Homo-oligomer: A and B are copies of this chain.
């Protein structure tokens, strides 16, 4: 007899889709919306085409079932539902797989690293832009956090991921200020480039 079969060679992205389905049955279309409002901040915002192909793969692996739903007013749907086997595989992956390092790929930091090629003036401008974007991101995350707080059984895990975003974004903002100050202290002559756009300095 084959022991607890371990068909488990699926990539993380398959588990992402499977994991979203663990919240309830959904169509590919629903899944895309849900992903964009949940895991997009720390994992990925899938292309539609990829969702549909992941669903085919999960179905073939027996981790989800497909149900055709006819509609007259709207296009027909296919509703996907996680199976018992799907829940088992998911629990194993979430709880007991190897920790793999996160992918962090910042073209912005690459540009900072190559700053010499552009000069400190251009770099300062870039940093100001970056700072503004991060501040906007922080505001956005704090809003999401308000909607979730406080820590409770229901919102615990999603709130934790939002808190991770808040911590990291705050750190990035602190770093930006430090970086701007460091460049200024080495180049006291350089412009501040604050986003004024002021027409009348009166």
- Which residues in A have some Cβ–Cβ distance to B below 8 Å? 12, 15-16, 19, 22, 38-39, 42-44, 87, 90-91, 93-97, 99-119, 122-123, 125-126, 129-130, 133, 151-153, 156-158, 160-161, 163-164, 167-168, 170-172, 174-175, 178-179, 182-183, 185-186
B130 touches A111 (CB 8 A): no
Q: Which of B95, B110, B126, B183 contacts A19 (CB 8 A)?
A: B110
Q: For chain A, what secondary structure do more than half of its interface residues adopt (helix, strand, loop), or is it mixed?
A: helix
A114: min CB distance to chain B, Å = 4
A-B contact pairs, 19 of them (CB 8 A): A12-B107, A12-B110, A22-B117, A42-B104, A42-B105, A43-B109, A90-B114, A90-B117, A94-B114, A94-B117, A103-B106, A109-B164, A113-B160, A114-B157, A153-B186, A156-B183, A164-B179, A167-B171, A168-B175
A96 touches B114 (CB 8 A): no
A102 touches B108 (CB 8 A): yes
Residues of B within 8 A of A107 (CB): 12, 43, 100, 102
Q: Which of B19, B113, B167 contacts A117 (CB 8 A)?
A: B19
In the complex, the chain B residue whose C-beta lies closest to that of A20 is B114
Residues of B within 8 A of A182 (CB): 151, 156, 160
**How far is it, in angstroms, between the C-alpha of A44 and the C-alpha of B110 when the chains are bound?**
10
A150: min CB distance to chain B, Å = 10
B105 touches A157 (CB 8 A): no
A103: min CB distance to chain B, Å = 4
**How far is it, in angstroms, between the C-alpha of A121 and the C-alpha of B141 when the chains are bound?**
27
